[in-house]
Amino acid sequence: MGITKVLSGAALGTILSISSLTSAHAAVIHKDSAAQAKVETKQEASVSIAKAKEAALKNCSCKGAVQSAQMKKINGAYVYVVNILDVKGMQHTVNVNCDSGKVVKHQIEKKQQFISKTGAEKIALKNCKGAVKSAELKSENNVMVYVVQVSGQDGKLHTIHINCKNSKIVKHDIKDNQQYMTRTKAESFALSHCKGAVKSAEMKKENGVSVYVVSIFGQDGKLHTLHMDGKSGKVLKEDVQKKQVMIASEKAHSIALSHCSGIVKSSEMKKENGVYMYIVKITAQNHTVQTVKVNAENGTICK
């Protein structure tokens, strides 16, 4: 009986060992089968994931960037499910057949959950005065961002990264080497081309080029708008308003001389306390230099 018990125990141990080996072997076989199935799934895809992304982006009506892409089995067919965010802030889900590369489904979220490209540019310009050079939608660290480059009015190139979801600026790089004229320099260049007083100056993008658009009340009494290259200051275009909006310098001189007899030594138009005026310096008959300020809009003497 004791031998039987021992044998039974040994037999039981052997059976358990065999059972364990069989289970382990089965696990290995299952793992290999899963790996093989994974390989077979990849082999079944005639179209690469890169091509699927291209097809999905092409199918979207407006430009965008891929948020994610993965292969799935839907209704017995393998497809790439590609999620895209477009520049209007809308999300697209595009299913691309893994064998044919054709788009089989395209859904657009009804509610806008992300900012648009235009919105991102406004945020960038609010943070940095200048002209948008470029704006690109990208995925950075699994977060969708707009990378907006601005030609700043400080003469430097600013690269601003804006989170598409919450509109926050996550990064702001400034290129130290000055690439563009400052606003002050642009105004100075404009006034050397057209004597008068600056009404406004701002940097814009025109025909792919960053330009300063400087409006000047000229001493001829007309409004001049100069479009100047943002880097060189070269005048690319000049528009002159036909209608006279200010009095001309000659008229201002005549008004000043009627107030103080003598000879006009110099005159320039300036903006003081929100009023455009001619600052006329006259060498009076007693050989002293008198300064007369003439309102450039109505010709009255300013105190």
Largest separation between any pair of C-alpha atoms in the chain:
147
Residue 93's CB is within 10 A of a number of other CB atoms, namely 16
pLDDT given at position 44? 58
The answer to whether residues 64 and 87 touch, using CB atoms and an 8 Å cutoff, is yes
pLDDT given at position 26? 44
Show the low-confidence residues of the chain (pLDDT under 70).
1-44
* Domains in the chain: ranges and CATH: 49-108 (3.10.450.40), 117-175 (3.10.450.40), 183-240 (3.10.450.40), 249-302 (3.10.450.40)
**Coil/strand/helix, residue 47:** coil
Rounded-to-integer distance, Cα 254 and Cα 242, Å: 23
* pTM attached to this predicted model: 0.66
Q: In residues, how long is the chain?
A: 303
pLDDT given at position 178? 78
pLDDT given at position 23? 47
Could you report the per-residue pLDDT of 171-211, keeping only the tens digit for each?
A: 999 987 778 999 999 999 999 999 999 999 999 999 989 99
pLDDT given at position 38? 43
Cα distances (Å, whole numbers) of residue 254 to 128, 249, 257, 261, 280: 44, 9, 5, 10, 10
Could you report the per-residue pLDDT of 124-175, keeping only the tens digit for each?
A: 999 999 999 999 999 999 899 999 999 999 999 999 999 999 999 999 999 8
